[in-house]
Amino acid sequence: MSFLFEQTSKNPDIASKILLNIKYKKFSEGSYGFELFWRQKNKIFKTIDKDFLPYFYTVPDAEYSTEKLKNTLEKIRKIRVEVDNEIRGLVSVEIEVMTFENRQTKCVKIFCKQEKDILKIKEKIKLMFPKFHNRNHDIRNVSKYLVDKKLNFFEQYQPKVCAFDIECYDSELGAKGDTKNNPITMISFYSENESAQFSQTLTWKPTNIKNVKIYKDEKEMLIGFFEIINSGLFDIFVTYNGNEFDLPSIKDRADVFGLSEAKTINIFSRGWRKSSSFDEALHVDLYDVVTKHNPYLRLSSYSLGDLGREILKKEKKEFNMSLSKKIWDCGNIEEYVNYNKQDAKLTYYLAKKFLSVEYNLSRLTLQPIDQSSRQGFSRLVEEHLIRRALETSYLIPTRAKKEYLEERYLHTFKGGFVLEPKPGLYKDVVILDFRSLYPSIISTYNIDPFTKTNAQQNCFEYPDLKYFFLKEPRGFIPFVIDILIKKRIELKKILKEKFDENLNSEQIALKFLTNATYGYLGFIAARWYCLPCAETASAWGRYYLKQTISQYENTGFKVIYGDTDSLMVLGNKEKIYDFTQKINKNLPGIMHLKQESVYTKILFAGTSEQGTKKRYAAITSEGKIIIKGFEFVRGDWCSLAKKTQETVINMCLNENIENALLYVKNIVKKLKNKEIPLDELIIYKKLTRDPKSYNIRAAHISVAKIIGAKPGDIIEYIIVPGKGTISERARPHKTTNDFDSEYYINNQILPVTLRIMSVFGYKDEDFKKGV
């Protein structure tokens, strides 16, 4: 990477410098260390530290006397192992007091010359002392270094972000994932930092559009691309689906031209999605951020256009990608360039919307943002726990062996309690919610893998006396949860007085980690895996929800719905609020029941046979419409069905039931007369694995096989008239101008309508009469 200057320093002066990234790497044979990348004013530079020694701990099987521990220390000090055909020893050993499985104990800290020495040395210790416990040998050196040096990322700093987006010559090759033989025609960059706008498109065809740099050929354009990446102007580069498309395309095309910069792009396959990164510059794929770290966002399609429309309220420019090859060849590329520019701009604005939470997750987990942004919540929770453990001298459990994972996979536990609502329209409903219920229970009852005990003295009891947890000492998991909840409460108080976007993003990140910690305890690959812990928290959750429902009903209130950590109560909001405060006075620990919102009306849909759990629509006291669980917010229905359901919901909430009937009958009529635009009938379905691996006959699988789709693609299809099953009549939407009216009436419009209208006694035939 071409920085303005490079500095080598053992102890860099970090005053006024912002840490952006860190990498542990091999510099030469036998020489390892850290590269740290810093922002200082208008430049990025790196420092190198080769003096940090890798280390781990070994814990005696019992409490050793000082003399016995010293003798053990001497035996360990003499250990020699063979690594890379070289006999090596330890660098040093020392005695340190650490917390091991919730008890303080003296253990041996072992420093090694290189990270790979640790594996051989710990194995030798296991042979010499079979009952000793080796710890922290499988923890990233980067985490240890950052904690020891008290460093973190982006502290008191707003990173400089730039989005880029590429376009390629042949859309058909692009659809097949052929990045090597598909020339890149243009690359657009966009950024707004410190009131200055950076907008530049790189291409190799002439155009009169502003802010376009024209190169003589694709190779020169790619060199220009890497110059911007390596310029030090920006801290983070963002893409949308860049892991799968942009970076692999750039790497492959740079390889074709023999550019050395191709080696600075790294592509890894993780599950069904790739992970792509630069050697030194930070890259964040917003597709991962949106789909992995936004559990409350549910869209039918996660295309850039749909996100721009739903999140930013900005329409994406229309452009027929199938004509990209023809347009490029004819040379009139203005429309194509403007399309590319807008994609980069949309990506940048999405980054402004989502990255603030990601900065906080990066800091909380002590990971560079290009790593934390693509991880699931279980991994984020674990990295956060590792950070807290290193900071508090707590020895970290090892990763589970494969045989343990297979055993864990066989076990599960009972979830939360649900009080099913009866279908109907209700008025004046107060929604009550336990604040972080499961984390609060874990904190209150000191639930931790190493506070679990068989004894019954000084213990909290599980509701059915199955498990017991010590009241003291404080467990590590409850200790960490206390930190998260306390900090979030502080931030919420500040935000109540005055809203601040950065503080709000911090509290959202804290909320994500807090709530995910409970689920992490039951995650089979977790270091702190403890099924009894998760089971106990769940049991207490059921206990308190049932108890709270009984308390309200015994006082004369009507509870119409309860689910896991919340309940809905009919009645006067002031009276309900007063009674809630009485309940809170008797709740233990940090448990707290809060009034979340008030609904003037709520409609529970479905039938008693079908169940209505989590399927409702409501109007808040502020006039906002809330919709949960309907097809309107799900991805496997056409836009006409969603629009119809949304309209019917609004009409029914406003008690215009007859108008809703007439509205749906008109939709049915238009479908029969083929008066509905085809675009409103496209069904979207995400492909989760290779279509060849499916044994089922599903419509989207049939279409996926036709178009040669790959895992992760969004399949768009229409059901056409004719003989055969629905899957046999599914067609890629661009290949047909017709649709099956009866399918869309009976399989799309009427099912979503009857979810609501059946509450008022309507049946299928009511919507077909006279049509």
Report residue 685's pLDDT band, with 50, 70 and 90 as the boundaries: confident
- pLDDT exceeds cutoff 50 at 1: no
* Higher-pLDDT residue of 454, 174: 454
CB contact set of 443 (below 8 Å; sequence gap of 6+): 478, 481, 482, 485, 589, 590
Cβ(589)–Cβ(440) under 8 Å? yes
CA distances from 729 to 5, 12, 738 (A): 62, 66, 11
Report residue 383's pLDDT band, with 50, 70 and 90 as the boundaries: very high
- pLDDT exceeds cutoff 60 at 408: yes
Q: If we measure between CA atoms, which residue out of 50, 55, 6 comes closest to residue 28? A: 50
Q: Residue 103's pLDDT is what?
A: 94
Q: If we measure between CA atoms, which residue out of 737, 564, 735, 757 comes closest to residue 648? A: 757
Q: Residue 610's pLDDT is what?
A: 47
Answer positive or negative: Cα dihedral of 272, 276, 282, 283.
negative
Q: Residue 529's pLDDT is what?
A: 97
Report residue 613's pLDDT band, with 50, 70 and 90 as the boundaries: low
Q: Residue 342's pLDDT is what?
A: 96
- pLDDT exceeds cutoff 90 at 605: no
Cβ(316)–Cβ(308) under 8 Å? yes
Give domain limits for the chain.
5-49, 55-149, 161-372, 418-625, 635-767
> Rounded to whole angstroms, how far apart are CA atoms 324 and 584?
63
Average pLDDT over residues 224-238: 96
CATH 1.10.238.10 is held by the domain 161-372: no
Average pLDDT over residues 649-669: 95
Q: Residue 52's pLDDT is what?
A: 95
SS3 635: coil
The whole-model pTM stands at 0.89
- pLDDT exceeds cutoff 80 at 631: no
Q: Residue 164's pLDDT is what?
A: 98
469-499 pLDDT per residue, tens: 999 999 999 999 999 999 999 999 999 999 9
Cβ(89)–Cβ(96) under 8 Å? no
- pLDDT exceeds cutoff 60 at 632: no
| Mean pLDDT estimate for the chain | 91
Q: Residue 568's pLDDT is what?
A: 97
* Higher-pLDDT residue of 668, 625: 668
C-beta atoms surrounding 428 within 10 Å:
16
Average pLDDT over residues 404-418: 88
258-308 pLDDT per residue, tens: 999 999 999 988 766 788 999 999 999 999 999 999 887 877 678 888 888
* Higher-pLDDT residue of 676, 689: 676
731-759 pLDDT per residue, tens: 998 899 999 999 999 999 999 999 899 99
> Rounded to whole angstroms, how far apart are CA atoms 588 and 258?
66
Average pLDDT over residues 498-514: 96
> Rounded to whole angstroms, how far apart are CA atoms 642 and 637?
7
Least confident of 3-7, 490-494, 592-596: 3-7
Least confident of 188-197, 295-304, 487-496, 508-517: 295-304
Q: Residue 406's pLDDT is what?
A: 85
Helix or strand run (H / E) with residue 380 = helix 377-391
- pLDDT exceeds cutoff 90 at 663: yes
Q: Residue 28's pLDDT is what?
A: 86
CATH fold group of domain 418-625? Palm domain of DNA polymerase (3.90.1600)
Cβ(298)–Cβ(642) under 8 Å? no
518-538 pLDDT per residue, tens: 999 999 999 999 999 999 999
Cβ(478)–Cβ(590) under 8 Å? no
C-beta atoms surrounding 537 within 10 Å:
25
Q: Residue 633's pLDDT is what?
A: 53
Q: Residue 739's pLDDT is what?
A: 97
> Rounded to whole angstroms, how far apart are CA atoms 552 and 547?
9
SS3 135: strand
Length of the chain: 771
> Rounded to whole angstroms, how far apart are CA atoms 711 and 117?
40
Report residue 13's pLDDT band, with 50, 70 and 90 as the boundaries: low
Q: Strands of 150-264 (E only): list them.
A: 161-168, 184-193, 196-203, 212-214, 236-239
C-beta atoms surrounding 83 within 10 Å:
16
CATH 3.30.465.10 is held by the domain 55-149: no
Of 289-298, 576-585, 648-657, where does the model show the most confidence?
A: 576-585
- pLDDT exceeds cutoff 50 at 237: yes
Average pLDDT over residues 384-392: 98
CATH fold group of domain 635-767? Topoisomerase I; Chain A, domain 4 (1.10.132)
Report residue 711's pLDDT band, with 50, 70 and 90 as the boundaries: confident
Least confident of 148-152, 221-225, 344-348, 412-416: 412-416
For 583-634, give the DSSP string.
Answer: HHHHS-TT--EEEEEEEEEEEE-S-TTT--TT-EEEEETTS-EEEESSGGG-
